[in-house]
Structure 1
Amino acid sequence: MSWMAWTLPTAIFFVTIALLLVTFTVLAVRFPETPRRGVLGIETTRGDRLFITLLGSAFITLAWLGLTTAALPWAMLVCLVWAAAVFRWV
């Protein structure tokens, strides 16, 4: 896989996503939940909220890269706030 230019940040990113998926799978099996209706008006489960969080975080990061010159760790802080809001209110 030398053609892929794996770096430590890339590996950490993919390992984190894989661990999130495993964790949420274990949570779904161990503690089943009923869907809840949030501010979007649709029924969501933990997995749905994780997907919305990841998708929103991707857009936040792309907007950050395109619209600001600030350091990228600040975008991660915004993404963490976004994740907290999604899991709380969606």
Structure 2
Amino acid sequence: MLGWMAWTWPTALLFVGIFTAIAILTVLEIKFPGGDARRGVLGLTTTRGDRLFITLLGSAYIFLAWLGLIGYPLWWPIALSMGWGVFCFWKV
């Protein structure tokens, strides 16, 4: 049924993680409306959804740069991406 795409467990976990994050943000938006807008170190006024988007985009760039410059293993870019995500939700 899903043979049209080469699904692997890491790919499936990535999508599960993204959809889980979106579900958590949806619950937070229902519970605390307004998106928790604030002005961060980049000078942007961002909401929770904006910060999630910046985190995902930055993580993709971290992985692409790591693969282009260093290659494998991918444990270090995972740690860098998690740190980037914490920074984005804390300071951006």
Which interval holds the TM-score relative to the shorter structure?
A: over 0.9
Matching of residues 1-90 of structure 1 within 5 Å: 1-33=2-34, 34-90=36-92
Q: Please provide the CA RMSD for this pair.
A: 1.2
**Distance (Å, rounded) in 2 between the aligned partners of 1:4 and 1:14:** 14
Q: Which amino acid is the alignment partner of residue 83 of structure 2?
A: V
Structure 1 stretch displaced more, 7-16 or 55-64: 7-16
Unmatched segments (≥5 aa) in structure 1: none
**Distance (Å, rounded) in 1 between the aligned partners of 2:29 and 2:90:** 18
What TM-score, normalized to structure 1?
Answer: 0.92
What TM-score, normalized to structure 2?
Answer: 0.91
Structure 2 vs 1, CA of residues 67 and 88 (structure 1 numbering), >3 Å: closer, same or farther? same
Q: Deviations over 1:6-58 (max 9, x none)?
A: 11111111111111111111111112244111111121111110000000000
Unmatched segments (≥5 aa) in structure 2: none
Count of residues in Structure 1 that have an aligned counterpart in Structure 2: 90
Offset of residue 85 of structure 1: 0.9
Off by >3 Å, runs of 4+ in structure 1? none
Identity %: 54
Offset of residue 69 of structure 1: 3.4
